[in-house]
Each structure stands twice: as C-alpha cells, then as structure tokens.
Amino acid sequence: MKKIVTAAIILNESRVLIGRRKPNQALGAYWEFPGGKVENGESLVDCLKRELQEELGVNAKVSEDIFMLVDHTYDGGEIQLIAMLADIGDQQPVGTVHDFLAWAPIEELSSYKLAPADLPIAQKIIQKFGQ
Ligand SMILES: Nc1nc2c([nH]c(=O)n2[C@H]2C[C@H](O)[C@@H](COP(=O)(O)OP(=O)(O)OP(=O)(O)O)O2)c(=O)[nH]1
C-alpha cells in the first residue's frame, strides 16, 4: 500500500532545514525534509506537527496548504510525499533521528544528495524562494 509521508519546508531567511538520514536506514545518508508517515486517522497537519516535535523538538505552525505533492516509487514501495511550509519561529531544532541537520542555503540545495522523491520539491523551493 502507498505510504503517505509529510515533509516540512522550514525556511529561515535564505536557508531551508534538511536532515541527513542515518547510513544504516533505508535511503541511508540521503538528505530529506523533516517529517514522516501519516498514522491512522491523523490529519496531514497533525502528522507533521507530531513529527517535527519528535524529530526536532520544536512546536511548529504548519500551513494547511500543500506546497507540492510528489508520487514516487522506490524499490521498497510507493510513497506519496506531501510537502507543506512550517514555521518554527526562533526555536532551535535539536535533531533526534537524523545524524546531521543543516540549514542549507536555498541556492545550494541541489548540491546535497537529496532523497530522489525530494528533487522536484527542491526545484520548486529554488524557483519560488531562491534569489
Ligand atoms: N520524512 C521524509 N521522508 C522522506 C522524504 N523523502 C522521501 O523519499 N522520504 C521517504 C523515506 C521513507 O521511506 C519515508 C518516510 O518514512 P519515515 O521517515 O516515517 O520512516 P522510515 O524511514 O522508518 O520509513 P520506512 O523505513 O518505514 O519506509 O519517506 C522527506 O523529504 N522526508
């Protein structure tokens, strides 16, 4: 069954927050946007707020609007990745699941090894928020 996955676009001036998946995981050492799988009965916004609390220790405001929806098939199965803007104000994220967090300059987003499903999202971020 297709997994529904939420992903947060957290901007700070001209940077965007990304996390590196641990090398021993599926898609190991790929960078991604913080987020994760929707649980039974959960709304997209509630899912992303929960994931950001769990993964970064922040209380985020998540936009109701979908920034971009990407259907992608990996060897392990199909996902529908749903990216939404999120605002964490001046809270400092502290990573609990990624081995690194980075505030990537938007212009340099393409130089990170991003999870394949994230590539169209990164392109849209660069178009919309890049210089
Ligand atoms: N959180 C997040 N996941 C992403 C992104 N891009 C992308 O392909 N994914 C994939 C990786 C995982 O297969 C899935 C998210 O699952 P998860 O983060 O909740 O948990 P997981 O790695 O344990 O997933 P899994 O092994 O059960 O598939 O979506 C992204 O930008 N953010």
Domains by residue range for the chain, with CATH: 3-129 (3.90.79.10)
Show the tokens assigned to 45. Answer: 């916004």
Mutate-to-test residue for ligand 1 from 16, 20, 30, 32, highest number of ligand atoms within 8 A of CB:
32
> How far, in whole angstroms, is CA 20 from its chain's centroid?
10
Atom of ligand 1 nearest to the CA of 33: 31
Q: What is the pTM of this model?
A: 0.96
CB of 19 shorter than 6 A to ligand 1: no
93-115: per-residue pLDDT in tens? 999 999 999 999 999 999 999 99
1-20: per-residue pLDDT in tens? 899 999 999 999 999 999 99
* Contacts for 108 with CB less than 8 Å, ≥ 6 apart: none
User: Ligand 1 centroid vs 56 CA: distance in angstroms?
Assistant: 15
